[in-house]
Copies of this chain bind each other. A is one copy, B any other.
Amino acid sequence: MDTMAMMKTMSADAMPMAMDMEMMQDTMMAMNAASMAATMCSASDMRTGGEMATCAAMCSNTAMLADTGMRMMMRPMGMDAEAMRTMLAACVAMGTACAAECRQHADMDESCRYCAMACDEMVAKCRAMMDAMPA
């Protein structure tokens, strides 16, 4: 199943504001990858516990927020500019905090290393979208 091809079926006239469709698709793909990486990282952290407790909670929050952000973008008719901007800002803040936490144990834990990378990429895509939005 080619997810990128599916996304191209989203019609631009459902957008509540002028948006670069390709940029939106990139952002949604990055949100999906971050959400999956954070879910797996959180599951791995739960087994370790102790010093990984903050990481487990951060990753659980990132997983849910990134997925919610992606699905909100898949229903652009249900957004306005302010809802879009603040949702992206929340993904940037949560993804930045999560990546910083995961990076601290990236040497010992492969799922943390993936999660930090996936969060970084989501943050970069969300920032680019925010910059491209009309003021």
Interface residues of A (CB under 8 A from B): 1, 3, 5-7, 9-11, 14, 30, 32-34, 36-37, 39-40, 42-50, 52-54, 56-65, 67-68, 70-72, 74-80, 82-83, 85-87, 89-90, 92-94, 96-97, 110-111, 114, 117-118, 121
Considering the chains assembled together, what is the distance between the CA atoms of A49 and B82 in angstroms?
25
Question: Residue on B with the closest CB to A79?
Answer: B61
Contacts of A49 in B (CB 8 A): 46-50, 52-53
List 4 tightest A-B contacts by C-beta distance, closest first.
A49-B49, A57-B78, A1-B33, A86-B90
Most buried by B among A14, A45, A49: A49
* Chain A contact residues, majority secondary structure: helix
A77 touches B94 (CB 8 A): no
Given contacts A6-B36, A49-B48, contact A93 B82 (CB under 8 A): yes
**Closest approach, in angstroms, between the C-beta of A24 and any C-beta of chain B?**
12
Partner of A53, one of B77, B80, B93: B77
B90 touches A47 (CB 8 A): no
A82 touches B54 (CB 8 A): no
Considering the chains assembled together, what is the distance between the CA atoms of A42 and B49 in angstroms?
12
Given contacts A49-B49, A57-B77, A61-B83, contact A44 B9 (CB under 8 A): yes
